[in-house]
Amino acid sequence: MTIKLIGYPISTPTLRVVICLKELGIPYEFEPPASFQALKDKDYIANKHAFGKIPVLLDGDYVINESRAICRYLVSKYQGKYNDTILIPSDVHKAGLVEQFISYESCYYDSPVSKIIGQEVFAKKFRGKDPDPEIIKQGREDLSKVLDVYEKLLEGKEYLIGEFSLADIFHCPCTNLAYGIAAHSDLWDNRPNVKNWWNNLRNRDCIKKSFEEVKN
C-alpha cells in the first residue's frame, strides 16, 4: 500500500518529510488538507494528530505525526529498501553523531531561523502583515551566533557528520526559506564552511526537487 503524506508543501515540517521520502526513494502520495479548518475537525484530531497539526504520515493502517518522528520511522523501516542512501549509519558512533546534530538543529538552529521566516515569509507573504523588524533583528543576531559555531563544526567536512545524513535534511526546509525567499543568504555565505555545506545540500537532486514543490 502506498504511503500517504498529509500536509502543505510550504510547511517546513512537511518539507522535511518530503526530502526524507525522496532521498530514500520511497513512493508516496501527497494529500493537502481540504482547509486549515479541517485540521481542527474532531475526526482529524482523534485519528491523525492530537494537536491538529501537519504533517501526518499514513503507512497502511499505521499513522504517525511530527516530522522528526516520521523521518526516523521512515529510516528505520525503509532505509536500504529502494536505494542505497544511508541517512542513519549502522555504526553506533556515527548514529550517535546524527542524533547529536539533530538535537543541535531542534534546540539551537530552528528557533532563530523560524523567527526570520515567521516574519519575512509567513507573516508578510502569506498573511499580508508587516514583518516586525525587531524580531527579524533578534533572529539574525541569534542565528549568527549559532552559525559561528557551525562554521567551526564544519571545518574540513562536507556535511555535519562528515557524510550526508538525516541531520543535514532536518536543517534544509527552514534554511531554504531564510536563504532564498526571505533573502538572508549573507548569514550563510559569509561563512565559508557553512556556505559550502549549504551549497552541497541545496544542490542535491532530491533536495532540489523537494524545493520545487514549495514553489508550485
Domains of the chain (ranges, CATH numbers): 3-78 (3.40.30.10), 92-204 (1.20.1050.10)
Q: How many CA atoms lie within 13 A of 66 on its CB side?
A: 7
Looking at residue 34, its pLDDT comes to 85
**Helix/strand/coil for 107:** helix
What angle, 0 to 180 degrees and rounded to 10, lies between the N-to-C axes of helices 192-202 and 166-176?
90
Cβ atoms of residues 53 and 39 within 8 Å: yes
Cβ atoms of residues 161 and 101 within 8 Å: yes
For 48-128, where are the E strands, in sequence order? 56-59, 62-65
Cβ atoms of residues 88 and 34 within 8 Å: no
- β-strand 28-31 against 3-6: which pairing, if any? parallel
- Laid out side by side, the sheet with 3-6 consists of 28-31, 3-6, 56-59, 62-65
Region 132-139 average pLDDT: 94
Average the pLDDT over each of 103-117, 143-157, 175-189, 195-209 and give the range with the smallest value. Answer: 175-189
* pLDDT category of residue 81 using cuts at 50, 70 and 90: very high
Q: Residue 196: which of 166, 165, 160, 146 has the closest Cα? A: 160
Residue 49 neighbours by CB distance under 10 Å: 18
**Residues contacting 146, CB < 8 A, separation 6+:** 108, 109, 112
Amino acid identity for residue 121 in this structure: V
* pLDDT category of residue 216 using cuts at 50, 70 and 90: low
Phi/psi at 103 (nearest 5 deg)? Answer: -65, -40
Cβ atoms of residues 20 and 87 within 8 Å: yes
Cβ atoms of residues 26 and 77 within 8 Å: no
Question: Which pTM does this prediction carry?
Answer: 0.94
What angle, 0 to 180 degrees and rounded to 10, lies between the N-to-C axes of helices 110-117 and 133-153?
140
**Helix/strand/coil for 62:** strand
pLDDT at 125 over 70: no
Region 26-51 average pLDDT: 94
Region 20-35 average pLDDT: 95
Residue that has been written with the C-alpha cell 512537511 in this structure: 14
pLDDT at 124 over 70: no
CA angle centred on 171, ends 170 and 172, rounded to 5°:
95
